[in-house]
């Protein structure tokens, strides 16, 4: 073998060893702990997402009801203005006409 081929083989072995756990072994407890923490965080994220979706669904219902109420109020405004036009000291309708 020539020196260039030996150098190439040595460089290839060095690269393979640096990618493996031979020189830098990890503690498996740390690995499993990190994996467990990741799984727990994923479960928490899924729970918060489902909770947010349920809140959004509730808000949608409230907005639909308020839209219906506002359309009813808009329809009743001319009636209220007519009632307030005929208010005098003998007929009082409270704070509605102020």
Tokens (6 digits) for 75: 């329809």
Looking at per-residue pLDDT, the higher value among 70 and 84 belongs to: 70
- Whether 22 has a pLDDT exceeding 70, the answer reads no
Higher pLDDT: 58 or 79? It is 58
Q: How far is CA 7 from CA 2, 15, 19, 79, in A?
A: 9, 12, 18, 97
The helix/strand/coil state of 14 is helix
Residue where the block lists tokens 């209220």: 80
Better-predicted residue by pLDDT, 78 or 67: 67
Chain-centre distance of CA 5, in angstroms? Answer: 57
């Amino acid at each position: 073998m020539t020196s260039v081929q030996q150098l190439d083989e040595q460089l290839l072995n060095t690269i393979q060893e640096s990618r493996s756990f031979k020189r830098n072994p990890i503690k498996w407890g740390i690995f499993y702990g990190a994996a467990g923490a990741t799984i727990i965080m994923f479960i928490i994220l899924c729970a918060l997402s489902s909770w947010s979706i349920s809140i959004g669904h509730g808000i949608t219902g409230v907005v639909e009801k308020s839209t219906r109420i506002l359309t009813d109020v808009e329809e009743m405004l001319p009636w209220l203005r007519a009632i307030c036009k005929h208010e005098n000291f003998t007929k009082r309708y409270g704070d509605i006409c102020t």
